[in-house]
Amino acid sequence: MLMRPSGVRSSGSRPSRAWSGTAPVSQLPVRQGVRLAVDVGSVRIGVARSDPGGVLASPLTVLRSGPGALAGQARAELARLAAGEGAIEVIVGLPTSLSGREGAAAAGAREFAADLAGRLAPVPVRLVDERFTTTEAHGALRRGGKDARARRQVVDAAAAAVLLQAALDTERATGRPAGQLVPAGGVSPGNGADA
C-alpha cells in the first residue's frame, strides 16, 4: 500500500500513516518491457522471459549448446530470440562459488555475455550472480512432481527464471537494475555492480 503524507486522508475516515521516505518494495519504479535471462551451460542454455511489466519471470526455452560452431549457433539463436521478444535487457547468470570467487564457469559466462552484448547492442546485457539458482530450480521442479529425468530437460530454463525473478525483485527493491552492465566491446573481469 502506498503511504500518504501526514494529514492527508485516504478514502476512509481514518488518517493514513505518515510518509516514511521509502516506498514499499512493490511500489518502487520498475522499467517496463520484456527481459530475458540466460543460464549458460556447456551443453544447454536455459532461457527465461519476464512479462512486459517486469513483474513475473517464467521459463521460456532451452537451447542446445556445445563447443565450436554449436556454441555460435546457440548465441545467434539467443540474439534472434531477444529481438523477437522485443527484450529491453538480457541478464546472464554469473556462476560464482559460495565465497564469491570466480572459476572457469564464470570466465565462460563473462565471455558469453561479452559476445552477446556485441550481438545485441544497443540492448543492454547484465551479469547477475546466479548462486543457488539451479538448486532452487531443482527443488521447485521436485516439489512440482518432476522426477530426476524430467527435471534434467527443463532445469536450465527454470534456473534462468529463478535468476530473472531475483533480478526483477532487486530492481523493485532498489529502483536500479540488478548486476553488472557488460560493455558491447567486452566485459572487464571482477565482481561489481553498476547502474
Residue 69, domain member (yes or no): yes
Full-model pTM: 0.73
Residue 111, domain member (yes or no): yes
More confidently predicted of 134 and 67? 67
Alpha carbon 192 to chain centroid, angstroms: 16
Residue 4, domain member (yes or no): no
Instruction: Give the model's pLDDT for residue 47.
Output: 96
State the chain's mean pLDDT as an integer.
77
Residue 44, domain member (yes or no): yes
Q: For the domain that residue 42 is a member of, what is the CATH number?
A: 3.30.420.140
Q: What is the DSSP letter of 35?
A: E
Axis-axis angle for helices 104-120, 69-85 (nearest 10) = 50
Cell of 71: 556454441
- Count of structural domains within the chain: 1
Residue 14, domain member (yes or no): no
Residue whose C-alpha is closest to residue 90's, from 107, 78, 77? 78
Instruction: Give the model's pLDDT for residue 127.
Output: 96
Q: Please give the residue range of the domain that contains residue 74.
A: 31-182
Residue-wise burial string across 142-165, b where 16 or more C-beta atoms lie within 10 A, e elsewhere: eeeebeeeebeebbbbbbbbbbbb
Alpha carbon 62 to chain centroid, angstroms: 15
Residue 125, domain member (yes or no): yes
Instruction: Give the model's pLDDT for residue 154.
Output: 67
- Asked whether 81 and 47 are in contact (CB, 8 A), the reply is yes
Residue 121, domain member (yes or no): yes
101 vs 117: CA distance, rounded Å: 23
175 vs 160: CA distance, rounded Å: 22
Residue 155, domain member (yes or no): yes
pLDDT (tens digit per residue) in 165-181: 999 999 999 999 999 99
pLDDT (tens digit per residue) in 82-108: 999 999 999 999 988 777 788 888 999
Q: How confident is the model at residue 195 (pLDDT cuts 50, 70, 90)?
A: very low
Axis-axis angle for helices 133-143, 148-174 (nearest 10) = 120
